[in-house]
A and B are shown apart, each in its own frame.
Chain A
Amino acid sequence: MIRDALLPLLRAPECAARLTLREWDDVIRQARNANLSARIAADLEGRGLLDAVPPGPRQHLVAARAVGARQRIASLAEIERVRRALDECGIRLVLLKGAAYLAADLPASRGRVFGDIDLLVPKDALPNTESTLLRHGWISSHLNAYDQRYYRQWMHELPPLRHINRGSSLDVHHNILPLTARHPPDPTLLLDQAIPAAATPGVWVLAPADMVLHSACHLFHEGELDNGLRDLVDLDGLLRHFACEADFWRMLEYRAVALKLQRPLRYALRMCSVMLATPIPAETLTFGGAWPSDARERLLEQLYLRGLRPNDPTAGDAWTPLARQLLYLRGHWLRMPPHLLTAHLARKAWRNWSGHTDDDETPAPDAIKPERQL
């Protein structure tokens, strides 16, 4: 049985005052699983409600707040390093997702914990960008030949880069969807409309409507939804924030058509409104027609209602594992045409089965060692 503890608190943080200790137990574990603890802490602190939380759960929120605060400082410093590096070769730093919300000081960045810095560069600037970043210590983390080819030939980004000393991760994109996707948008449209980030001089972010569309396109093409709810919370935060900008909703529809991202936008609006009660004008909510337009949308809604909940046993039911598996397959299906997909999945399955996995980062259980602190 699905126990919704986190969603009500995300919709209305005021209800924290009424939660029982039993309910807090679900909130803390679901938030930890969904990577949203720091966000809950920020929501409650902003409303002066953090001190009223019972001591047990409050400790976890205090801890998460520290993680959020640290991440904010570290990420801003890292963004500045990337900006300076790219500045040397005259490439403009256009940030995407978490790093962009932070650089633009949007409410969506409050308590948002993220690992990678995502940036978008024109495709013809890729070689220059990669070599410049390499000179500054960011090296390719997937060194296996198959992975290199997989990224370079089919994907919309370089293989992830990792800084050789600081361990920070960079995802350098030249588009927002894989080259093998059915309808990849034209990235120059996004770059042309990019705007300076309000809070970080010299750094650029996507225009409001494009930012929402990228977030929607990312979430609803993604097969692995470990951070699914966090990404939906991003969308909710962006929509609530930009709602007060003149012409935002009309622009959102207009850009969705121009970028061929109508479907992800429909899903984003629907799931935000159903799961997080995001205030969306009635006419925007019916963008592309009344929901659901067909059996596919009806099914997808049921899948996403499970796939986007926290990946915690308390927030799932008997259908959740199947829903997640189907969404995983859908993510891959959208990513590449059938013949490539078959070859790719077969290869992944062989790797897992034979134990020759590259992403072998699962540690042995006693491997708790302090990382370099100084």
Chain B
Amino acid sequence: MTATLRVTDLNEADLSARLTCDGLWLTSGPLTLHIRSREPVVRQALQTLYADHTLAQSDFADFHVQVGRVAGLRAWVRPQVQFHLDGRTPFKPLPHAQSFAMLEWGINWCIATYCHQFLVIHAAVVERNGLAAILPAPPGSGKSTLTAALIQRGWRLCSDELTLLDPADGRVVALARPVNLKNSSIDIIQQFEASASFGPECPDTHKGRVAHLQPPRDSVARMHERATPRWIIFPRWEAGAALDMKPLPRAEGFIQLAENAFNYSMLGETGFRTLIDTVDRSDCLSMRYSRLDDAIAAFDRLADEARQ
């Protein structure tokens, strides 16, 4: 048996050849992704952001995805790209500079739309000592910034956007995909950790400036390790606010988690039981913060207390 190849083991020409011809087969947690694209920015981004991901050695892909140019007159004036899943194009095209962002958004959509073997929650999730902190939060609450900071300080990244809970054992299944940061969050994390590695930045999406942060090597290496839910934390960044962490009634945690789930009602009783189990074994907390270091210290304290 040959040693497992990682993306970083491929030279630029090899990666490029794969992406344009047979496609790149990647492992992301429980999923095998088959990716094709001729866009140079997609190759550059994959090379940086998925460097530590292993190439899948399988004949089966969960999703065959492609980011390709839209044909026609537009191809010459303002080129656009389209996301393809099995030959279908579920979205409106985007300017070609956003090719990689479109790939990431497209994969998120595939998971949220089809992976009903899991309870899928719109939340970040990080792990320490086998225990998971789930961070469901509306956009703008600083969830991704906090996640990006936590994973620079020893927390393992399971997922930044989609929390997968397996109804069979109630545990978190990791994806270890890049963290999507927007606008000033990009600068904040660059200042917070100089060694943090980013993919190409794309200037003006409808969300503003977007860049992706490479997941830590350790998070990628341990993507198959499951984590047990222990905390459900609703973070809120507020300029100048002192750190304030308060317990939240479980019922409220439950409702908020359910409202952030993609398929809670779809899964019916299974969804209800999975969510009840998750809330039962977790502390529900709301956290207001302004300084990342304070927030991380608070997270670390939680991890230490849980250990004792």
A residues within 8 Å of B by Cβ? 20-22, 24-25, 28-30, 32-33, 54, 56-57, 59-60, 62-64, 66-67, 69-70, 73, 311-313, 362-366, 368-374
Contacts and interface: CB of A to CB of B under 8 A. Distances in A.
A21 B87 contact: no
Given A362-B90, A365-B102, A29 B64 contact: yes
Interface of B: 30, 32, 58-62, 64, 83, 86-88, 90-92, 94, 101-102, 105-106, 108-109, 112, 114-117, 121-122, 205-207, 255, 258-268, 270
B58 A21 contact: yes
Contacts of B32: 56
B267 A66 contact: yes
12 contacts: A24-B60, A32-B86, A33-B86, A54-B60, A56-B32, A60-B114, A66-B116, A311-B87, A366-B105, A366-B205, A368-B105, A370-B259
* Chain A contact residues: helix, strand, loop or mixed: helix
A20 to B, nearest CB: 7
Contacts of A366: 101, 105, 108, 205-207
B259 A373 contact: yes
Contacts of B92: 362-365
A312 B86 contact: yes
A364 B263 CA distance: 20
Which 6 A-B pairs give the minimum distances between C-beta atoms? Answer: A63-B116, A365-B91, A22-B59, A365-B105, A313-B87, A373-B264
Contacts of B261: 370, 373
A362 B87 CA distance: 16
Contacts of B265: 70, 373-374
A364 to B, nearest CB: 6
A54 B61 CA distance: 12
Given A313-B86, A373-B259, A363 B116 contact: no
Given A56-B58, A70-B268, A368 B112 contact: yes
B106 A370 contact: no
A374 B91 CA distance: 27
B62 A60 contact: yes
Contact of B83 (A25, A59, A313, A365): A365
B81 to A, nearest CB: 10
A30 B87 CA distance: 10
B122 to A, nearest CB: 5
A269 B183 CA distance: 60
